[in-house]
């Protein structure tokens, strides 16, 4: 679809030159010689971008900009002004202009601003779309997803939460198993009771039994007083045993009793205690294989696996990535009081990345980007090195150019360099200094490369 531009200026010869040049470049061009004509053209045509001269014969350009900005919030306005009127241009920026250009200007300067403006407009539209999508897909319980797999999981959560059935969550690390466990608790009949989470992998083997079931005074050296365990702390609520595959065989027998009979004996005691808890467990290991290998009790496995839920990796539900990015950004907007946004191109890179650490890795990457972001627009260099490296590798893997056996190696390397440079300039919306920093070269060197490649 052609991008449409409205040029508003009282210099007819300039309008004709701009119209001819940019129509040849593939744009739809509309011209107006005064404010009244500009009003009519905006009403009659679908226009994306407006170049507006500050000095018009029938109206003050700044007043016209203020009028248009309030009427057409979805359009991008760029001010054209003569040299020496920079103060007026600054006022125009405050009134809603995206940028300004000083006349006379070269066609390539105007085209660069057009590309920057369109990129900004797309980014603005994409962020508005993501915010709307987030509102539509965010359930009352904070479950955010648009993928079919996660919607099915949510439906299963709604069905099993009211019961006391033991649930086993399995999937890779970072997929959100602990959040789902908490959601199960919140939707169940025990939501007013405690939710006690235990990371079994983080507790040394010799301490795990006493952490889970408690101990009596004198049970071991240093036990100067009796202490209740996590099961007692979860009375009338839910106990979530994360990394259940890390529980040693020596503790599994006692855990089986707690799961099966809701009873246990404190370390150093002979008294059986009863407990009323719901048990949810999670693992990133293959418990069935562990049963076959003799490292996990078969009877315990089947008691834990009354209802099992497989939580898919983030790379298996890429449709959720834009929504998750928007959710994390919204939190950081409130935290830092900054209107963070992200370009469609960068969002495409994040969506294509494999995220071996899943949602946790994505959350950490977005937080890092928000902390390092100098302004409000996140850029690729704000993200970890592995994502930056993936972005550059992606130029080849996503087919932005292909190898041509008819060209020499130097010619093909030049094409790769040209594509990387043009992508960096586009990502930074024409800001040469920022693009040069990302590329690791001086501004002078980048200008030289631009002059060389933009002639091709």
> Could you state, in order of their start, the residue ranges of all structural domains in the chain?
4-105, 148-311, 317-454
| Residue 43: other Cβ atoms inside 10 A | 10
State the Cα angle at 294 between 301 and 305, rounded to 5°.
Answer: 10
Name the H helices within 275-316.
287-293, 298-304
User: How far is it, in rounded angstroms, from Cα 143 to Cα 146?
Assistant: 10
SS3 state of residue 120: helix
Whole-model pTM: value is 0.61
301-340 pLDDT, tens digit each: 999 999 999 999 999 888 888 888 988 998 899 899 888 8
- Tell me: cis bond preceding 186? Omega within 30 of 0 counts: no
CATH code reported for the domain at 4-105: 3.40.50.2300
Please tell me the predicted confidence (pLDDT) of residue 43: 85
pLDDT of the residue at 399: 47
Measured CA distances, 225 to 66, 71, 205, 211, 214 (Å): 74, 73, 21, 14, 11
The reply to whether domains 4-105 and 148-311 share a CATH topology is yes
- Report in angstroms the alpha-carbon separations of 431 from 36, 112, 153, 288, 447: 35, 10, 45, 55, 11
Burial degree of 285 (CB within 10 A; 0-12, 13-18, 19+)? middle
- Beta bridge partners, 199, equal 242
Coil vs helix vs strand at 14: helix
For residue 235, count other CB atoms closer than 10 A to its CB: 15
Tokens of 144: 């955010």
Cα gap 120→342, rounded to integer Å: 10
Q: What are phi and psi of 51, to 5 degrees?
A: -95, 120
Beta bridge partners of 242: 199
**Cα–Cα–Cα angle for 425, 430, 436, rounded to 5 degrees:** 50
Best CATH choice for the domain 317-454 from the list 3.90.1210.10, 1.20.1600.10, 1.20.1090.10, 1.10.8.60: 1.10.8.60
d(CA 105, CA 256): 79
Q: Give the domain 148-311 fold.
A: Rossmann fold (3.40.50)
Per DSSP bridges, beta strands 377-378 and 341-342 are parallel
- In the chain, the N- to C-terminal Cα span, in Å, equals 24
pLDDT at position 392, please? Answer: 61
Report CA 111 to chain centroid distance, whole Å: 30
Number of C-alpha atoms within 13 angstroms, CB side, residue 139? Answer: 13
- What stretches of 166-297 show up as alpha helix (H) in DSSP? 177-187, 205-213, 230-233, 249-261, 287-293
Average pLDDT per block of 10 residues along the chain, 456 residues long: 81 85 85 88 86 84 81 80 61 70 78 79 62 51 73 89 94 92 92 95 91 89 87 96 95 94 92 95 95 95 94 89 88 89 82 90 94 88 86 54 59 71 71 76 75 60
Beta carbons of 383 and 365 less than 8 angstroms apart: yes
Angle, CA of 324, 328 and 333, to the nearest 5°: 140
- CA 211, 213, 218, 219 dihedral sign is negative
Q: What number of residues does the chain have?
A: 456
């Amino acid at each position: 679809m052609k991008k449409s531009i409205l040029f508003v200026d009282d210099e007819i010869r300039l309008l004709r030159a701009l119209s001819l040049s940019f129509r040849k470049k593939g744009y739809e061009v509309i011209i107006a010689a005064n404010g009244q004509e500009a009003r009519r053209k905006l009403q009659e045509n679908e226009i994306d971008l407006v170049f507006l001269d500050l000095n018009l014969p029938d109206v003050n350009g700044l007043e016209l900009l203020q009028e248009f900005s309030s009427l057409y919030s979805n359009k991008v306005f760029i001010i054209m002004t003569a040299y020496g009127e920079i103060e007026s241009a600054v006022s125009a920026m405050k009134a809603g202009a995206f940028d300004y250009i000083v006349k006379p200007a070269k066609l390539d300067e105007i085209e660069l601003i057009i590309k920057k403006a369109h990129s900004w407009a797309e980014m603005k539209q994409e962020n508005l779309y993501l915010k709307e999508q987030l509102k539509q897909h965010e359930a009352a319980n904070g479950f955010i997803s648009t993928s079919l797999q996660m919607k099915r999981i949510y439906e299963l959560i709604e069905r099993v939460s009211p019961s006391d059935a033991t649930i086993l969550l399995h999937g890779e690390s970072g997929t959100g198993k602990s959040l789902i466990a908490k959601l199960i608790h919140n939707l169940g009949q025990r939501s007013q009771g405690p939710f006690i989470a235990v990371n079994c992998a983080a507790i040394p083997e010799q301490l795990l039994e006493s952490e889970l079931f408690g101990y009596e005074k004198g049970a071991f050296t240093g036990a100067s007083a009796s202490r209740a365990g996590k099961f007692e702390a979860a009375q009338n609520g839910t106990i979530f045993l994360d990394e259940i595959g890390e529980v040693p065989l020596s503790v599994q027998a006692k855990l089986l009793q707690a799961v099966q009979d809701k009873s246990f004996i404190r370390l150093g005691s002979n008294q059986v205690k009863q407990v009323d808890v719901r048990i949810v467990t999670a693992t990133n290991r293959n418990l069935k294989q562990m049963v076959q290998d003799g490292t996990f009790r078969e009877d315990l496995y089947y008691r834990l696996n009354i209802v099992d839920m497989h939580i898919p990796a983030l790379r298996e539900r890429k449709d959720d990535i834009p929504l998750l990015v928007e959710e994390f950004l919204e939190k950081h907007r409130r935290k830092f009081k900054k209107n963070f946004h992200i370009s469609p191109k960068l969002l495409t890179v994040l969506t294509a990345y494999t995220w071996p650490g899943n949602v946790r890795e994505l959350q950490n990457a977005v937080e890092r980007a928000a902390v390092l972001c100098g302004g409000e627009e996140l850029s690729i260099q704000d993200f970890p090195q592995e994502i930056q490296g993936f972005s550059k590798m992606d130029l080849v893997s996503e087919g932005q150019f292909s190898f041509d056996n008819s060209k020499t190696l130097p010619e093909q390397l030049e094409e790769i360099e040209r594509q990387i440079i043009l992508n960096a300039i586009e990502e930074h919306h024409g800001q040469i200094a920022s693009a040069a920093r990302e590329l690791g070269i001086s501004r002078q060197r980048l200008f030289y490369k631009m002059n060389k490649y933009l002639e091709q």
